[in-house]
């Protein structure tokens, strides 16, 4: 039994149906489309983390200065360590290599970073408060996406 959204042709029209019981043998194209959509989502989410991991290394100086301004202990080491978490977490999500570990890396990055670096409630300047609230909200959404993906059963489609 498989629960999902099904794309079916009905004469000249196509419809999306929510169904409770799909025979996978009868709808291989639908399952393949969903696997491709899942892969695209992995590339987008993992690509975000991978890009920001690379950015941590390319802009280590300014990120270290920013981390120090937020009271992060050993900011240079913290920036390097979080860069590694982002890089390998993103790469693992994209490729599907050790996905549980990769998602754990992204979660391990997001929880402390969100609350330490984007504590909008501590800001007195209204513009800075809004900026930090946006960053906080973005990180919470990424955390939610990482947690949902962590619950997705293995093996993932198109794992390398």
Which residue, 94, 86, 90, 101, is CA-closest to 56? 86
On the question of pLDDT at 39 being above 90, the answer is yes
In this prediction, residue 145 carries a pLDDT of: 98
pTM greater than the 0.75 cutoff: yes
Distances (CA, A) of 94 to 39, 88, 111, 153: 8, 10, 21, 16
State pLDDT tens for residues 91-150: 999 999 999 999 999 999 999 999 999 999 999 999 999 999 999 999 999 999 999 999
pLDDT band at 29 (very low <50, low <70, confident <90, very high): low
Res 24: pLDDT: 52
């Amino acid at each position: 039994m498989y629960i999902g959204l099904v794309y079916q042709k009905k004469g000249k029209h196509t419809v999306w149906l929510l169904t409770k019981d799909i025979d996978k043998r009868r709808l291989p194209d639908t399952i393949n489309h969903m696997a491709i959509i899942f892969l695209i989502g992995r590339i987008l989410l993992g690509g975000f983390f991978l890009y920001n991991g690379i950015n941590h290394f390319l802009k280590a100086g300014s990120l270290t200065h920013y981390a120090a301004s937020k009271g992060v202990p050993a900011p240079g080491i913290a920036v390097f360590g979080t860069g590694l978490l982002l890089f390998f977490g993103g790469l693992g999500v994209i490729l599907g290599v050790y996905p549980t570990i990769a998602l754990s890396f992204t979660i391990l990055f997001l929880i402390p970073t969100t609350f330490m670096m984007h504590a909008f409630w501590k800001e007195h300047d209204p513009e800075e408060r809004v900026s930090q609230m946006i960053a906080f909200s973005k990180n919470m959404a990424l955390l939610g996406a990482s947690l949902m993906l962590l619950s997705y059963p293995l093996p993932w489609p198109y794992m390398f």
